[in-house]
Amino acid sequence: MKPFHNCRYDIAFKMLFCNENNTYLIKNFLKNTLGIEVEKLQFLNNELAINYLGERRKIVDSLMCVNDNIYIGVEVNYPRDSENSLRNYCFFQKIVSTKTESSQDYNVGDTFIQIDLSYKLNKKYGIVEEYRPRNKRGNFLYVENVKIIEYSMDKIINVWYDKNEEEIEKYKYLIMLGLNKKQLDIFCKKYEGDEYIMKYKERIEKLNNDKKFQRFVDYETDVRFKINTATNKGIATGIERGIKKGREQGIAKGLKEGREEGIATGCQQVAKNMLKKGISVSVISECTNIPEQQILNLR
């Protein structure tokens, strides 16, 4: 049985909801999560500007401007850990900073909202959390127009399995994003009169039947395994060299250099293989963390 990729995969979410030619799903998503009636929608470049050479690339799942003055970023975190929450926060602040600096003054008329759809979130978090810069007592905000809303998707999906009808009705438009094929079929029978849910089902099934999408998702997973395998193999080879070199210059220094050499060698080999497959330089760079110019040099 072929795998069913639902929207816990950020690629599937982006392909369904970030389609400039068909904004029905994203408009309804924003209406049901934020209560915003979308009259005007513009997708923005989701790769944020790099300001200096050593700064890492900043790519968010979705970035859009709604009704001319609401900037919304969406991140699918599977899983969400402390590292990617810090990354998301830094990227979100970058968006706020970029849009503020580009205006003529510090415009507080714009609103900035980050939506996190987080899986495998620590149990201490509630089903929905809102983060805003407040004072210690929590009785006033430091900044009025910035907030992060995080949904604990595992808890939301469990509402469906727990058969809590009141909660199911409340979170139905988020529940559907994380259901497997069998449960989605059952879910859609319950809500067969809901146009939004039916449209989502139609498009996620069409996407999963698209051979190009399947190859892309499977290839991305395969690339990650190959990177890990090549890196580990490279590390092992590098460590051997490092031990030998370490006898002369110090084991600690040799191990460090060997590990770095092994990682670089493994990632470069994967990049070469991807180039042969015709994969774009930008995708290779994102998967291997090798700068695009270095990848071009590998040719």
Q: Angle 181-190/195-208 helices, nearest 10 degrees?
A: 160
**Cβ-contact 46, 63 below 8 angstroms:** yes
Structure tokens at 224: 């990650």
Residue 80 has a pLDDT of 79
Structure tokens at 125: 């978090």
Residue 221 has a pLDDT of 55
Q: Report the distance separating Cα 276 and Cα 271, nearest Å.
A: 9
Which residues are CB-neighbours of 169 under 8 A, at least 6 positions away? none
Q: Report the distance separating Cα 256 and Cα 241, nearest Å.
A: 11
Residue 240 has a pLDDT of 60
In the block, which residue shows the tokens 């970029």?
A: 98
**Cβ-contact 244, 238 below 8 angstroms:** no
> Taking the CB of residue 252, how many other CB atoms lie within 10 A of it?
10
Averages of pLDDT over runs of 10 residues in the chain (299 residues) are 83 85 91 93 61 40 84 86 73 70 59 91 90 86 87 95 94 95 95 95 91 66 49 55 62 63 72 77 77 78
Residue 165 has a pLDDT of 94
Strands 62-66 and 70-77, how do they pair?
antiparallel
The pTM score is 0.65
**Amino acid residing at 27:** K
Residue 56 has a pLDDT of 39
> Taking the CB of residue 113, how many other CB atoms lie within 10 A of it?
20
**Cβ-contact 48, 212 below 8 angstroms:** no
Q: Report the distance separating Cα 217 and Cα 13, nearest Å.
A: 12
Which residues are CB-neighbours of 91 under 8 A, at least 6 positions away? 48, 58, 60, 73
Which residues are CB-neighbours of 213 under 8 A, at least 6 positions away? 5, 15, 207
**Cβ-contact 192, 169 below 8 angstroms:** no
